[in-house]
Structure 1
């Protein structure tokens, strides 16, 4: 939602802060950070990403050592 767009309700225009809040809320609502995924072995996305990041860092360390 852009500032000045008519989504303020009752004919009002949105302020910049309201538009920024709405965009952040939509992103938080759209991206799932808690619900478990079967493709990730039943882990929440945040936990899965943490495990993958740790494994990648360890692989980089082993590649540097070799």
Structure 2
């Protein structure tokens, strides 16, 4: 889970919750606003394209919708400027040697 350096993300209670859910925390460097830019962009897209579209009755429905959006739309259709206008899947295919793709 990537966060900024806010005190709420460094608290013992928050760190304990991360460990309970088998998650690892990471934080951006002090004064480096660009560290969080990519994640904030991603979460903004997720908010607009999944979370704000409807009300979810169960966590599992929401989880399925998020995973489906990431796998079908974000990774396969959304071209990204930092990847030379390729989708993440296109970039991985182009940049990964054929022997590695088979593994």
Q: Which range, TM-score by smaller chain?
A: 0.3 to 0.5
TM-score by length of 2: 0.31
TM-score by length of 1: 0.44
Point out the structure with max Rg over C-alpha: 1
